[in-house]
Each structure stands twice: as C-alpha cells, then as structure tokens.
C-alpha cells in the first residue's frame, strides 16, 4: 500500500489485513514501512512455507544491495536451475528459497526475467532508486492480484477481503458484472470485479506505479503466445516431444519440502498426472484425493479406483451429503470472495478440506489441460470456424458427422453450431426467440438497464485477422489468457488457500502452451472428433489404455438439482439479497428459482447464480 501521507502508520491497517490473509500464509508473516520524498509505502506478507522452511524465506525480502524489496505469492519451480545460472554470473545466495532466486532474477535481468520463470506468481517489487513499485502476475493468472488506485494512493492484495480493509470506503456493487453473471454466467473474464473500482491485474501482465503519480500505472503485457502453425513435425514426433515436456513439468512440480498429493477426478488429465508421478518416481508414496458422487450419472469412482490400483496409490475419497452444502455455503462464499458458477466448486472445496485433514500441504491438479489440448467437447464451434475459413466444406461435413458420434454430442447439434456461425449477428436474438429460448430472463428489468446505460449483450471474445483458419488455436489462447480458465483457477486458488494448501497445475507452463498452440489443429481435435488426440498418443505406456481410449467426457460434475432441492426453504431466504439490485424483479426471480427445482422442468442455469449472488450480497452487505 502506498499513500502520499508521509505520516501514515500502516501497522493498524496491516494487522487486520494480514489476519484476513492468514489462511493463505499461516506459517510466518512480516511487514515493512518505507518512507520516501513522495509518501509512505507499506508492504506486508503472510507465508505458507513450502520451499526452505527456515526463517530465510521471510518476506518482505531485500536484495543484497538494498535497492529492491519483494513481496511474492506463489512458487518458482525452476528455481534451482535459475540459481545455478545466477551463481555462474557471480551472484551469492543466503537461503535455499525460491523467493530469493526471484529477487535475484529481477535484480539481474529486470522484467525480461519473467519469461524465464516456470511457475505461478503474483509479486510486487519496490525499486528504491527509481521510486517505483512494479507488480507482475503469471501468464495464466494462477495466483491472484487485486488493486485499486487514485491520485493519492494505491493498494493491492491477494484477496479482496484483505484489500477492503485498506480502503476508507466500501465500494459499490458492479452492476454490469452482476448482470453478466446472472444472465450469462460470465465472471473472472475481465479486469473488473464485483466491486466498483477494484480490479484484477490481468494474467500475463505487469504494471509499474511511479510513487509520484499513483493514479496512472504503466501497464504492459509480458506474455501473449503466437498461434502461427508449425508443420515441420509428424504427429508421432510431436507426441514424443509432448511426452518429454509434460514429464519435465511434473518433475519440476514435485519439488517440495512438505507432503504433497494429487486431486484425482478419474478423467484423463488428473489420471495422467498420477501415472506420470509413478513413471518418474517408482517408489514415491502417492496420496490421491477424490470427490465421488455414487449412484449419479456423473460418478467416476470406478475410474478413480482403476488409476489408484494401477499406480499403487493411497486413495482418499469424500462423498457429500446435501445438508453439508447448507452448512458450508457461507464459509465457501467468503473463501471465494466473489460469486461463482455452480455446486461443482463445493465438491472441489471438500476435496481440499479432505487433503488438509490428511496432513497434505501441496496438491497437484489437472487444471488447464482442456484449454491447452482442445478438451471438453473439442471446442467444436471454433473447429468448425477454422474449416469454414479454409474453405474445406467436404471435410467440415465429415468432421461434424464424426464429432456427433461421440457420447454427449450429436450431428444435429453440430449443424446448429454451423448455423449460428453462418447467421448474421443481428439475427441471433430472433433465432433464439423462434427456437423458444427467450433472449431475456423473465426477472430482468430491461428499462433499468437502458436508463443506467448497462449493456445487455453477452460478452464476446474478439476474432482476429491473425487467426483466420486457426480459430481453434485462437479460442484456446483466449481461454488460457483470461476468457475461461481464469474462473477455474480462481476456484482452485481460493478453495485450496482456504485450507492453507498450495494448488499446483503442472499443465500450465508457458513453454508447453507455446508448443501446443502452434500445432496443426487436427493434432489436438482430430478429424474423427477425438479431443486431446496428440496427448493421448503421448501418454501411451504411461496411462492405461482403458483411460486413454475413453469416449465419454463426464467432467467434474455434481448432482446440482438434487443438492439444491435438498436445501428446503433455506435458499429462498438467501435469494432475498437480490432485492438490492434494481434490474432484478425479485418476485419473478424467486419463481424462476422455485421452478428450476421441479424435476419435470429443465434446470434453469441461472438458479444457482441467483442464490449465490443473493447470499453473497447478504454476507458482504453490498448495495447497488
């Protein structure tokens, strides 16, 4: 936090703010106040000790020459290699921590060091000589960074509740974001937050505050991958290189001075992590943690059991009673900080709690693999666009037929996607209306939106000229850099940190992303509609063929309707928080929620969102 008031005492504020972040760093804390001709700067840190458990890793940390001061959240997995390189340049180290390596990297290379880092990070570095504070966030936004600034001050924190404690006035609710969340389920897809005036530092970005002008930070994007196609390798050669890169990533992510485990869902991605660990470390004790939904269509317990048996892991499972959701909902809403998408986030919350109960401090996850490799249902909309751009119409029809033959898909659905692409944007609302899908919810007050100048349109990712005929690669890049993956990473970070556990995502490194985004698109989503095609080939001999050949994609799903229906009348009181939002017709929203629990009606996707935002408003005391 910086203030032009040179006499300000940060200690009372920092005491409260650091207490609000204690779950993120229960092992140690430190503060530093720095006076300058421009004002006063205060830095505070709470530490979760993972690498070098001694006091040598305490922050704020100062460079050997006293010029730089660092506060850092995250892990640098290739810190040993970087330390060796810097030692060759004459740098001496006092500790074994990755924090000291990061500080030395910045001292030696400056901002160009960011592309050398293999890790997750959000950090701030004060430059005493230039009187600046530079803040940087990792390429994918694995670690959070929130900030606010004006002419007299700037403040930043890892979580919004801590940042709010540094502000004189509580921000108002961001009505545009509340609208987009309720209607479209959009969140964590932009720099704005649900609090007016509080922003994310976007993934792959850095900003520099000059203490002389705190209201105008200089913003710079330090990572944005190229998607130009490379065609110099066969799919077999690519699979060999991918295997090597993935195993190296897993090896680096196993570096820890505390116990670690794996979140195992039963799908390809988490199964590949567990099997890669066993391939690399034949004698390593492996503990897996899984959510199981027995007797439901989304249950993957049999696949979890197969992987655990295959590698000889020690399994730990959690099965959730619907009443537990009601008991834990407020705690989870506080932990997440902002509204979120579905009850699947609660299942993840419980998996991390299970790991905490078994003494695990680091958990590896398969997050990001779908966005790297063309997972889910194969990003079919983008794949269709690519084939259209290329003018390969016969190949397009062949792809649609093959794609539609997989479980959970259909040729008819593929044709509808093709039609939506060919239909002019201006006719989309009419098409939705003719198909029986109302473009506006019944509980929406459109008059207020118009009066306040709020947009009712769905947020869209831009299509670039650079990506013509590379629409799948473009869609994956958009997802990786903030238009999809960001929300999933937020869920993991807050749920893990709630239980003081570090969540690691070995798929997400910049070198692996750059490699995959440059591949021919049919290496990722094959002409036969197979997702993650080259990765399945790369994992031959490591992951069981039964898993590699799976045709279904269950995902991390929960029996949401059953859980909500089991809550009884409790959600009706939670929804009352929506009364403070002027564009919501409360009575109509209550009716929509009630109807969504009727098993004879389709589940309304906004049911959870209405309840979640309403309860979030009640907890945080927000008003529009």
Q: Which of 529, 548, 567 is the last residue of a domain?
A: 548
> Per residue in 480-496, pLDDT tens?
998 889 999 999 999 99
Structure tokens of 338?
Answer: 């902002």
Confidence bin at 431 (pLDDT 50/70/90): low
| One domain, residues 37 and 124 | yes
- For the stretch 551-580, what's the b/e string if a residue is b when 16 or more beta carbons lie within 10 angstroms of its beta carbon? eebbebbbbbbebbeebeeebeebbebbeb
Say if 317 falls within a structural domain: yes
Percentage, residues of the chain above pLDDT 90: 77
pLDDT at 460: 74
> Per residue in 565-613, pLDDT tens?
777 778 888 899 999 999 999 999 988 888 877 766 666 678 889 999 9
Q: How does strand 362-364 pair with strand 68-76?
A: unpaired
Q: How does strand 502-504 pair with strand 362-364?
A: parallel
Q: What is the CATH number of the domain that holds 144?
A: 3.60.20.10
pLDDT at 436: 55
Q: How does strand 132-137 pair with strand 119-127?
A: antiparallel
> Tell me, what DSSP letter sits at residue 198?
-
pLDDT at 296: 76
| One domain, residues 146 and 261 | no
| One domain, residues 301 and 166 | no
Q: Which phi and psi angles does 61 have, rounded to 5°?
A: -115, 140
Say if 40 falls within a structural domain: yes
Structure tokens of 488?
Answer: 């999933």
| Cβ(290)–Cβ(317) below 8 Å | yes
Say if 28 falls within a structural domain: yes
**String of DSSP letters for 459-519:** P-PPPPGGGTT-HHHHHHHHHHTTSSHHHHHHHHHHHHHHTT-EEE-TT--HHHHHHHHTS
| One domain, residues 161 and 251 | no
Domain count, the chain: 3
Question: Would you tell me how many other CB atoms lie within 10 Å of the CB of residue 352?
Answer: 26
> Per residue in 215-251, pLDDT tens?
999 999 999 999 999 989 999 999 999 999 999 999 9
> Per residue in 142-197, pLDDT tens?
999 999 999 999 999 999 999 999 998 999 999 999 999 999 999 999 999 999 99
Q: What is the CATH number of the domain that holds 338?
A: 3.40.50.620
Strand partners of residue 34: 41
Say if 428 falls within a structural domain: yes
| Cβ(201)–Cβ(122) below 8 Å | yes
Residue 623 has pLDDT above 60, yes or no: no
Distance CA 46, CA 14 (A): 11
| One domain, residues 163 and 256 | no
Distance CA 622, CA 616 (A): 8
| One domain, residues 214 and 337 | no
| Cβ(491)–Cβ(348) below 8 Å | yes
Peptide bond into 60 cis (omega under 30): yes
| One domain, residues 15 and 161 | yes
| Cβ(44)–Cβ(254) below 8 Å | no
> Tell me, what DSSP letter sits at residue 55?
G
Confidence bin at 424 (pLDDT 50/70/90): confident
Structure tokens of 205?
Answer: 């970005």
| One domain, residues 520 and 567 | no
Distance CA 548, CA 533 (A): 9
> Per residue in 18-63, pLDDT tens?
999 999 999 999 999 999 989 999 999 999 999 999 988 999 999 9
Looking up tokens 């740098």 gives 91
Distance CA 259, CA 362 (A): 6
- Please give the residue range of the domain that contains residue 97: 2-221
Structure tokens of 41?
Answer: 């700067």
Distance CA 299, CA 318 (A): 12
Residue 429 has pLDDT above 60, yes or no: yes
Q: Which of 221, 245, 266 is the last residue of a domain?
A: 221
Q: Can you say how many angstroms the Cα of residue 116 is from the centroid of all Cα atoms in its chain?
A: 22
Q: Which of 189, 221, 253 is the last residue of a domain?
A: 221
pLDDT at 439: 58
Structure tokens of 422?
Answer: 């060919």
| One domain, residues 439 and 510 | no
> Tell me, what DSSP letter sits at residue 158?
S
Say if 405 falls within a structural domain: no
**Residue 24: closest CA among 110, 143, 136:** 143
Percentage, residues of the chain above pLDDT 70: 95
Say if 554 falls within a structural domain: no
| One domain, residues 488 and 565 | no
Q: Which phi and psi angles does 211 have, rounded to 5°?
A: -60, -20
Comparing 290 with 457, which gets the higher pLDDT? 290
Distance CA 592, CA 599 (A): 13
| Cβ(363)–Cβ(289) below 8 Å | yes
Give me the mean pLDDT over the 272-278 stretch.
98
| One domain, residues 244 and 334 | yes
Say if 394 falls within a structural domain: no
Q: How does strand 260-263 pair with strand 218-221?
A: unpaired
Say if 466 falls within a structural domain: no
| One domain, residues 261 and 296 | yes
pLDDT at 486: 96
Distance CA 395, CA 398 (A): 5
Judge residue 425's burial from the number of C-beta atoms within 10 Å of its C-beta, 0-12 exposed, 13-18 middle, 19 or more buried: exposed
């Amino acid at each position: 936090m910086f203030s032009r008031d040179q006499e300000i005492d940060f200690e009372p504020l920092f005491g409260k703010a650091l207490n609000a972040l204690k779950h993120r760093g229960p092992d140690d804390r430190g503060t530093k106040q720095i006076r300058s001709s421009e004002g006063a700067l205060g830095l505070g840190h709470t530490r979760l000790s993972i690498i070098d458990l001694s006091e040598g890793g305490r922050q704020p940390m100062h460079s050997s020459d006293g010029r730089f001061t660092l506060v850092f959240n995250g892990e640098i997995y290739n810190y040993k290699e970087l330390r060796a390189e810097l030692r060759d340049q004459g740098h001496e180290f006092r500790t074994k921590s990755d924090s000291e390596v990061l500080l030395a990297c910045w001292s030696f290379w400056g901002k160009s060091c960011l592309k050398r880092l293999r890790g997750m990070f959000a950090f701030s570095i004060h430059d005493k000589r230039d009187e600046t504070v530079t803040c940087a966030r990792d390429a994918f936004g694995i670690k959070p960074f929130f900030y606010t600034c004006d002419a007299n001050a700037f403040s930043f924190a890892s979580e919004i509740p801590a940042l709010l404690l540094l502000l004189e006035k509580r921000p108002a609710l961001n009505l545009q974001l509340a609208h987009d969340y309720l209607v479209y389920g959009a969140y964590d897809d932009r720099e704005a937050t649900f609090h007016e005036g509080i922003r994310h530092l976007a993934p792959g970005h850095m900003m520099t505050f000059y203490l002389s002008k705190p209201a105008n930070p200089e913003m710079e994007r330090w990572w944005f991958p190229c998607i130009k196609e490379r065609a110099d390798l066969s799919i077999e050669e690519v699979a060999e290189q991918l295997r090597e890169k993935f195993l190296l990533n897993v090896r680096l992510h196993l570096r820890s001075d505390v116990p670690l485990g794996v979140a195992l869902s039963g799908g390809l991605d988490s199964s590949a992590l567990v099997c890669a660990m066993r391939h690399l470390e034949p004698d390593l004790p492996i503990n897996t943690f899984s959510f199981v939904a027995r007797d439901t269509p989304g249950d993957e317990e049999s696949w979890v059991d197969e992987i655990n048996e295959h590698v000889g892991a020690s399994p730990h499972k959690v099965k959730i009673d619907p009443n537990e959701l009601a008991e834990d909902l407020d705690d989870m809403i506080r932990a997440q900080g902002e509204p979120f998408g579905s009850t699947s986030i609660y299942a993840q919350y419980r998996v991390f709690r299970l790991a905490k109960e078994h003494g695990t401090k680091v958990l590896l996850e398969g997050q990001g693999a779908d966005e790297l490799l063309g997972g889910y249902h194969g990003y079919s909309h983008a794949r269709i666009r690519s084939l259209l751009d290329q003018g390969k119409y016969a190949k397009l029809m062949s792809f649609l037929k093959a794609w539609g033959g997989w479980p959970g898909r259909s040729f008819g659905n593929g044709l509808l996607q093709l039609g939506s692409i060919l239909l002019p944007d201006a006719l989309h609302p009419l098409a939705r209306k003719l198909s029986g899908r109302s473009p506006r919810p019944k509980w929406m007050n459109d008059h207020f939106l118009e009066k306040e100048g709020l947009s009712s349109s769905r947020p869209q990712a831009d299509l670039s000229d650079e990506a013509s005929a590379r629409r799948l690669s473009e869609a994956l890049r958009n997802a990786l850099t903030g238009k999809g993956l960001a929300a999933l990473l937020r869920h993991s970070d807050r749920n893990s940190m709630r239980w003081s556990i570090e969540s690691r995502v070995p798929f997400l490194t910049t070198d692996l992303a750059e490699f995959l985004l440059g591949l021919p698109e049919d290496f990722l989503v094959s002409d036969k509609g197979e997702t993650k095609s080259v990765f399945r080939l790369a994992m031959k001999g490591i992951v069981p063929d039964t898993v590699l050949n799976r045709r279904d994609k269950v995902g991390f799903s929960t029996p949401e309707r059953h859980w909500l229906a089991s809550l009884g009348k409790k959600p009706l009181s939670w929804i009352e928080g929506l009364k403070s939002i002027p564009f919501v017709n409360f009575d109509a929203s209550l009716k929509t929620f009630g109807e969504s629990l009727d098993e004879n009606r389709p589940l309304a996707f906004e049911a959870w969102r209405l309840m979640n935002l309403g309860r979030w408003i009640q907890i945080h005391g927000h008003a529009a």
